[in-house]
Structure 1
Amino acid sequence: MLWLCIIFMLLIKIHLLQKSAREIERAFSEKLITHSNTLIDISSNDKYMRRLANTINNQLRILRRERQKFQQGDLELKNAVTNISHDLRTPLTAICGYLDLLEKEEKTEAANRYVHIIRNRTELLSQLTGELFRYSVILTSEEPLKTEPVVLNHLLEESISSFYTVLKESNITPYITMPDEKIIRCLDSAALARVFSNLLNNAVKYSEGNLYITLTKAGEVYFKNPTTKLTETQVGKLFDRFYTVSDARNSTGLGLSIAKNLVEKMGGKISASYKQNVLSICISFGE
């Protein structure tokens, strides 16, 4: 009889421990995905389970402090990017205006060459500043994207057509494959056009051959181009903001980061892979 009582008490103890473990598991999962400042509380009085809960609570406090630091730093960075990009645009506009006037004046051959160099550098700086400004606007905007039925076939064709001259100048021939039927998704057409533009720009920068673009019936868009300028490690960082490969001197490293941000805002996915010297970027929009 004594043995039965001991077994019965052990079973109750095990049941209570399991209950406490489930409470800790549920509470911990909730605390990780919510911004609440509440901590884990359990019904058990078992000192070991309560010690476990207290240890997890201490780590939660540390995690929350680090999260707040990160969020504050991220916000400060976004604001700094917005302010810097805005402050740069005003003097750049003035510089371009004075260059226009200077180009109309009589100059020596050497002066013409110098003005031409300044013009090229100024246009590049304007382009990079514009990209920085667009990035800051996208990040700080809290307005939801305006979705509407978009025919991916048509928008993709329009985007490629607008890049035809740039691709031709870079000796890149686009090979396009898409189904005859219309692939329609509810998306923001302006945002998607920006995504396609950034991916085509990326192909121009890194491609060492032709560009292969494929649209599937599942709503996946692939951009593939050969390149030896990348490594698998670099490809894994392509969507990180401000990341550029060593020879990408004329880039802020924001193009693909903007594309990723916009694709995810529209409920899609974007990924990159690198195999046999071929860079492949895939955008996916489900049904």
Structure 2
Amino acid sequence: MLPWLLCALLGVLVLALLGKVCALTRSMEEICDQLADRLAGDTNNLLTLSTRDPHARRLAARLNVQLRLLRQQRRRYLNGDRELKEAVTNLSHDLRTPLTALCGYLDLLDRQETSPAVARYLDQIRSRAEAMKALTEEIFRYSLLAARESWDWEDVTLNQVLEESLLAHYGALTQRGITPQLDLTEVPVHRRLDRKAVSRVLANLLSNALKYSAGDLRVALTPAGEITFSNTAPGLTPVMVGRLFDRFYTVETGRTATGLGLAIAKLLTEAMGGTIQADYRGETLTLTLRFPPAEEKAAPRAVPGGGGVE
């Protein structure tokens, strides 16, 4: 009789432990699912559990404390980021007026009789003033891109947009002695994108090729929606290429560059759900732009603080 009682007691204990394990497993799954949801969205909801297990509820309570702190830090960051963007926009806008006036006075000085030395100094001043003006314009445009919240989504044929961009830059490429080698698929590549944003991205990539190419350019478009720009750039290094998409970064050969062209391209590409990357092998720089079809990419995300195009 005693062995049967012991077996029954052991069975009850096993069932109780299994029930406890199942309850804890369910609690952990609830915590994981809710935590992922709370971190992914901007919500004030906290973690809630269906179980009354004190250990699981204590864990949820501590996680809720961290969620509140994270939410406060996120609000401070967003407010500071928004204020910084507004300050940069206002500052760049305010700088445009005096710089325009400075360039106007330089034009007036050019009409006066000056010595060769003075003319040389005026050329240097004009060069620096024009560089400052270009930088101010790019900062202003970048600020506008990072502040816009709406996008004009439409069906875009990448073949057509790429061809239009190449034609728009044909004169500049010819002046540099560059004859692009094209390998464009004849299969129409349709994507749902912002047409103006795509054109801006392609224009910035072609401008980059104009600055750093040693005289060649190869452009390819695959049916999968991958666009590549390749050119010989002997003055670069892998470290430089790794920083090409950083804001305000320019390499030694780009003295007149603002360092915002590729940063803007990355900003817009990622906001539309695409990817962009740089690769450097054998003195050849390759910029790869990918726009996967809608079913293969996540929903287009907003640029931090907003995003847009002119």
Q: Above 0.5 in TM-score?
A: yes
Report the CA distance shift for 1:234/1:159 in structure 2 as closer, same or farther (over 3 A). Answer: same
Distance 1:22 1:214 in 2: 47
Tell me the equivalent position of 2:308. none
Distance 1:102 1:230 in 2: 39
Q: What letter is aligned with 1:65? A: Q
Tell me the equivalent position of 2:120. 113
**Where does the alignment leave 5 or more consecutive residues of structure 1 unmatched?**
none
Distance 1:61 1:230 in 2: 46
Percent identity between matched residues is 47
Tell me the equivalent position of 1:279. 285
Q: Between the two structures, name the one with larger relative contact order (CA 8 Å, sep ≥ 6).
A: 2
Q: Normalising to structure 1: TM-score of the pair?
A: 0.88
Instruction: Give the superposition deviation at 1:239.
Output: 2.6
Tell me the equivalent position of 2:257. 251
Distance 1:93 1:155 in 2: 33
Q: How does 1:44-193 map to 2 (within 5 A)?
A: 44-144=51-151, 146-193=152-199
Partner of 1:140, secondary structure, is coil
Instruction: Give the superposition deviation at 1:125.
Output: 1.6
Report the CA distance shift for 1:63/1:233 in structure 2 as closer, same or farther (over 3 A). Answer: farther
Distance 2:264 2:288 in 1: 15
Which stretch shifts more, 226-235 or 88-97?
226-235
Q: How many residues end up aligned between the 2 structures? A: 286
Q: Normalising to structure 2: TM-score of the pair?
A: 0.82
Which stretch shifts more, 166-175 or 209-218?
166-175
**Where does the alignment leave 5 or more consecutive residues of structure 2 unmatched?**
1-7, 294-310
Partner of 1:107, secondary structure, is coil
Distance 2:258 2:58 in 1: 49
Q: Which of the two has higher C-alpha Rg?
A: 2
Which stretch shifts more, 229-238 or 80-89?
229-238
Q: What letter is aligned with 1:202? A: N
Report the CA distance shift for 1:9/1:74 in structure 2 as closer, same or farther (over 3 A). Answer: same
Instruction: Give the superposition deviation at 1:82.
Output: 0.4
The answer to whether 1:198 aligns with 2:208 is no
RMSD: 2.4
Q: How does 1:216-227 map to 2 (within 5 A)?
A: 216-227=222-233
The answer to whether 1:17 aligns with 2:24 is yes
8 Å contact from structure 2 (residues 176, 215) kept in 1: no
Report the CA distance shift for 1:229/1:32 in structure 2 as closer, same or farther (over 3 A). Answer: farther
